[in-house]
Homo-oligomer: A and B are copies of this chain.
């Protein structure tokens, strides 16, 4: 059902919580206090995280591990989150709503994820897909290597050539 306009929170975009509520509605599910806390915690900042990190953060708010896992699956199905990688045998999530399409450079040394966007990639993929009669719905691209920080020589260390 459409709510009366709430200009304070609408204006341009629909908040993640609102979008989630809409999704839950179509499934005969409710936006409970716990789910609300989870959404709040997840969208507090735009960073990558895994389930266990979230579980930790929400333990303090008295939300159980089971509920966090269950809700993560809902958020993914609702299109608010997506899995972007796998690190240490854990799925890594990121926002998939109100955030532009991008992929990641994954550093094998420090594990950091660097986001990038490439115009050409989307075209390339849809071209390849249509060539195979494949109906593309999405993709996941992980580029492995070493990030610029880790590639630099360790900081605060004299290089022999400088010592003469």
Contact = CB atoms under 8 A, between A and B. Distances in A.
Contacts of A137: 108, 144-146
17 contacts: A86-B86, A116-B131, A118-B128, A120-B120, A121-B121, A121-B124, A124-B124, A129-B143, A134-B146, A134-B148, A135-B146, A137-B144, A137-B145, A138-B144, A139-B142, A140-B142, A141-B141
A114 interface: yes
A145 B135 contact: yes
Contact of A134 (B86, B105, B134, B142): B105
B132 A136 contact: no
Interface of A: 86, 105, 107-108, 114, 116, 118, 120-121, 124-125, 128-129, 131-148, 151
B125 A134 contact: no
Contact of A144 (B131, B136, B144): B136
A137 B141 CA distance: 14
